[in-house]
Amino acid sequence: MLVQVNWTNNKYDYVEDFMLDSLIEAGGVARFLRSSGWVTIGVDPVRSTPPTVDLSGSERRSTDQTSGCS
């Protein structure tokens, strides 16, 4: 599906929806059009990539296979 965007150079264009996230992250998109109206990057809420989870801490689950369930 095509999404209308307003580039940071104030020109308008259409891009494929699957490209929108990477274009926003690259800083090229100033606004894009949703069915509810224009979304301004940095002002209006937009979906984003979930934060990376740091799994480097110590293991807290029990590794004892003999306790618990029978």
- Please indicate, yes or no, if residue 48 is contained in any of the structural domains: no
Percent of the chain past pLDDT 70, that is, above it, reads: 70
Evaluate whether 31 touches 41 at the Cβ level (below 8 Å).
yes
Question: How, if at all, do strands 12-16 and 37-40 pair?
Answer: unpaired
- Please indicate, yes or no, if residue 52 is contained in any of the structural domains: no
Count of domains observed in the chain:
1
Entry pTM: 0.64
Mean pLDDT, residues 38-67 = 72
- Please indicate, yes or no, if residue 46 is contained in any of the structural domains: no
- Please indicate, yes or no, if residue 13 is contained in any of the structural domains: yes
Sign of CA dihedral 42, 12, 14, 25: negative
- Please indicate, yes or no, if residue 33 is contained in any of the structural domains: yes
- Please indicate, yes or no, if residue 67 is contained in any of the structural domains: no
Please report the pLDDT score of residue 11 as a whole number: 97
- Please indicate, yes or no, if residue 19 is contained in any of the structural domains: yes
Per residue in 47-60, pLDDT tens? 665 556 666 767 77
Domain residues for the domain of 8 are 2-40
- Please indicate, yes or no, if residue 62 is contained in any of the structural domains: no
Mean pLDDT, residues 3-25 = 95
